[in-house]
Amino acid sequence: MTVFFYFFLSHMLGDYVFQTSFIARNKNKNIYVLILHILIIYACMYIVILPKGLTNNCLLILLSVMHFFIDIIKFKYGKKDFFKGADYYLFDQLIHLLTLLIVSHFFVGQEMYLSYDLVLKSSVGLFNAFTIGILSGYIFNDMTKYKKDYFGYLIRFSIPFLPNLWFLLLSVPVYVYFILRFMDTQKSKQNHEKLFSLSLSYIITIIILEVA
């Protein structure tokens, strides 16, 4: 499970942090943009893991190829309604996570230059910031009007880095205040979305940090 979070962090970096708006808009329409996206995924894995040995290098290439074939499904059928909603988004992320679990199982142990604690907290923070934010957008909004919520990203990303459970609990009213303070309180639907994202981020953080 330890190695999995190195792969997971790589996935979050390549699929979210370094996926520009241009790539997100065009990877399902232009095969060359999709290939660029896969190359970025591979580069993120290589930089985070720095694989040693033939087996580990081949596993990174294999995972990149698997990512390509997962994304090519939406490339071919993206105009169908199923591929535009939350059901497909969840399905897509679950398939990606499954491939990460499978490949990490066969990874040959090696010394990592990034500490496990940093990788674990960073991957959970990025999951909170991006994945939960987008999922909430699907649930509460029309995703064609989705806007990046940088303040929300920062708040949710920081949750796993709070020093201990007491700080985590004490941060709840503080974070809720800041989220509501910097939002248009007349937009109740938006408030519900942000608070849902924040609540789910706390739950995910506590569960993963306790288990991992």
Residue closest to 45 by CA, chosen among 154, 119, 132: 119
The CA-atom distances, in angstroms, between 165 and each of 129, 154, 187, 203, 209 are 20, 19, 32, 12, 10
Tell me the per-residue pLDDT of 70-107, one tens digit each, with 9 for 90 and over.
988 877 766 676 666 777 888 889 999 999 999 999 99
Which pLDDT belongs to residue 210?
Answer: 86
Which pLDDT belongs to residue 83?
Answer: 66
Tell me the per-residue pLDDT of 171-203, one tens digit each, with 9 for 90 and over.
999 998 888 777 654 455 577 788 889 999 999
Question: Is the Cβ–Cβ distance between 48 and 6 less than 8 Å?
Answer: yes
Give residue 163's pLDDT band: very low, low, confident or very high (50, 70, 90): confident
- Alpha carbon 41 to its chain's center: 12
Mean pLDDT confidence for 108-123: 94
